[in-house]
Amino acid sequence: MPGLTGRMSTVVKAKISHMLDRAEDPAETLDYSYEKQIEQLQNVKRGIADVVTAKKRMQLQEASIRQQTAKLDDQARQAMAAGREDLARAALERKHLAEGEMESLDQQVAQLEDQQQKLTDSEKKLQVKVEAFRTKKEVIKAQYSAAEAQVQISEAATGVGEEMADVGLAMQRAIDKTENMKARADAVGELEAAGTFEDITQLGPPQDDIDRQLEQLGRTSAVDEDFAKLKAELGPGAAPAASLEQHNNEPEAAA
């Protein structure tokens, strides 16, 4: 199923790209890029140093060959003066071979000098680019830091950030619970004032308002009945007068 496989691959790549984008720090990325450019610049400088070293080595060989050709030329002259034409010819042959080698070294030295010049020019251009990138890098880092700080301040002020959003939700839940508790307290107080709630600690079955009124009427009737019986037994006004007189005489008897 090439279609499904391609789609899955696209989704995976998109997820990885999104994760990398969230994890990527622009400041770290810019610093890393600057370090890589510095490494390239150092490699160019090392390449220039290697070319100069090779050129110096060839120039030393060329100087040695030049001394050798001068020596061979003197030997050829001495051999001719001594009547040794064979030795003079051999010395001249070596001299020409040395001159040919010296000419080859001259060409190689010229090539190395040309390569050195190109590398030097490239090094100067790269140096300018690296310095420009460093300046731009610092500017971008400063702008990013300022923007990041501004976002954090704005999120904190407006409460749109993830942490501030959680704090806002927690505060809203606390407010809702407080309002619900206040409403419950007011409702309980109102119902208690209306006599809707009963004392759950009392014995016996619960009583409603009618039961309480009937019970109160019953207690009043019982009191009235007992009072009438007591009044009938003692007679109207007798018991109170005798009781008062006896009560008044008690202090005198005690004296």
User: Model confidence over 147-205: pLDDT tens digits?
Assistant: 888 887 877 776 655 565 666 677 788 888 888 888 888 787 777 777 665 555 554 55
The encoded tokens of residue 191 equal 């119902």
- Cα angle 235, 239, 244; round to 5: 155
Give domain limits for the chain.
Answer: 12-158, 170-197+207-254
- Give the pLDDT confidence of 14-42 residue by residue, as tens digits: 666 555 556 567 788 888 888 999 999 99
Answer with the residue of higher pLDDT: 95 or 200. Answer: 95
Instruction: In whole angstroms, give the CA distance from residue 171 to residue 152.
Output: 20
Q: pLDDT class for 144, splitting at 50, 70, 90?
A: confident
pLDDT at 28: 85
* pLDDT interval class at 49 (50, 70, 90): very high
Q: Give the pLDDT confidence of 59-69 residue by residue, as tens digits.
A: 899 899 889 99
In 3D space, the residue among 27, 228, 47, 236 whose CA is nearest the CA of residue 141 turns out to be: 27
pLDDT for 177:
84
Tell the burial category of 97 from Cβ atoms under 10 Å away from its Cβ (0-12, 13-18, 19+).
middle
pTM exceeding the 0.85 threshold for the entire prediction:
no
